[in-house]
Structure 1
């Protein structure tokens, strides 16, 4: 039997087929703390709970195509670079049936979320903090107490934040949260928000300048009540781009 004949006779129902979803972890920094975009679920399971924007992958679309569709349809964002983070496959993670979820991640400046939040009342940016029990994260909305997230989305967010913190040491990922021109103070504030700790100012600035990732613009910030700080732009050599 050749391959063509084999495939014509193959019984696709011989094995159980789990469903596949895509969930988007879209993060930013708001008021000095990491934040993530959440959507309020309108149907069961977990109706009324907050969750990451997500949906099922169609039989005729790739994972990346599904992620881009969900980014547009549910997160109301376009032209955002998203990449796969991890695949979550615990057997009981979805009470409906066997569902495997592929999580995608993106780091965006808060300005990218404003239009989506203005036109989609089901969306919110929730601030993230360390859970008192240790190890995990908790999401808070409008300064209220921590909210319970649907499915295993708290674990997804915790992993994304852990990966993000790890990448700060060797990549230029933090620049995704900054405008084209920024001060060293703004850069340090982003690092401190993600790491959840204060950094020594002289040591931080020396390390950033020594990496060769910054280019002075010769300009200074405007509207400052104190001495205007110098403005920089990101300058990432190709060998360091990741």
Structure 2
């Protein structure tokens, strides 16, 4: 029997690249419903908050992480009548990109928190069996948003540190798209796209062979022409 709750919530698809894999931040719930199950960070919007404030607060309360100027955008709204057994809860999904994050620390509102490889979550029915509520669908939508935006925007640089090599950037594309790219073709495309990358005055040191050039993100936000997933 469903409860009488009517509320607005925020759920966060927090993505990073770890060990050459796209990973999502999950929180183990410590209270019903779905106690003991993994879910996305998030929670109810308080009367004095907007959605961004709720997202920032809940991420800190559950994981100890902060956005700190990292990429954050709204994903979609989810309002199926039966998505929450406590009552009618509309949640607004967000996607956040966090480069090189520290290990999360479970807060008072979570039984545990950890980075999980996307490949084990979105393939088959794994996410539906593992995640609470409809978080499997929200996660899949967030991953697809990231994959598609890498085709026509400079979002991939959000996964990188302030200065990075072309190889580091290519590994982001390979992790998010889950496919191998030709290094020479990739180098040519990204360095010839206006405004995507800006060379710095430094190169990588302490490595064998010719030191790699370090770049920073340029002023462009869109890619012309786009880089399509089906191309190599």
Pairing 1:142-221 to 2, within 5 Å after superposition: 148-212=130-194, 213-221=196-204
1:49 and 2:8 correspond:
no
- Calculate the aligned-residue CA RMSD, in Å: 2.5
**Deviation beyond 4 Å, 4+ runs, structure 1:** 118-121
Partner residue of 1:224 out of 207, 213, 217: 207
Alpha carbons of structure 1 residues 164 and 56: separation in structure 2 relative to 1, 3 Å? same
Alpha carbons of structure 1 residues 75 and 163: separation in structure 2 relative to 1, 3 Å? same
Aligned to 1:76: 64
Aligned to 1:234: 217
Aligned counterparts of 1:147 and 1:205: Cα–Cα separation in 2: 40
Aligned counterparts of 1:40 and 1:168: Cα–Cα separation in 2: 29
Answer whether contact 1:50 1:147 (CA < 8 A) is retained.
no
Alpha carbons of structure 1 residues 194 and 132: separation in structure 2 relative to 1, 3 Å? closer
Aligned counterparts of 2:56 and 2:168: Cα–Cα separation in 1: 30
TM-score (norm 2): 0.83
Structure 1, 229-238 or 170-179: larger mean CA deviation? 229-238
Please say which structure displays the higher CA radius of gyration. Answer: 1
Answer whether contact 2:154 2:220 (CA < 8 A) is retained.
no
Partner residue of 2:12 out of 17, 24, 39: 24
Unpaired runs of at least 5, structure 2: 224-232
TM-score (norm 1): 0.80
Unpaired runs of at least 5, structure 1: 1-15, 140-145
Aligned counterparts of 1:158 and 1:42: Cα–Cα separation in 2: 23
Answer whether contact 1:21 1:101 (CA < 8 A) is retained.
yes
Answer whether contact 1:80 1:106 (CA < 8 A) is retained.
no
Aligned counterparts of 2:222 and 2:29: Cα–Cα separation in 1: 43
Aligned to 2:87: 97
Answer whether contact 2:63 2:106 (CA < 8 A) is retained.
no
Query: For 1:101, what is the secondary structure of its paired residue?
Result: strand
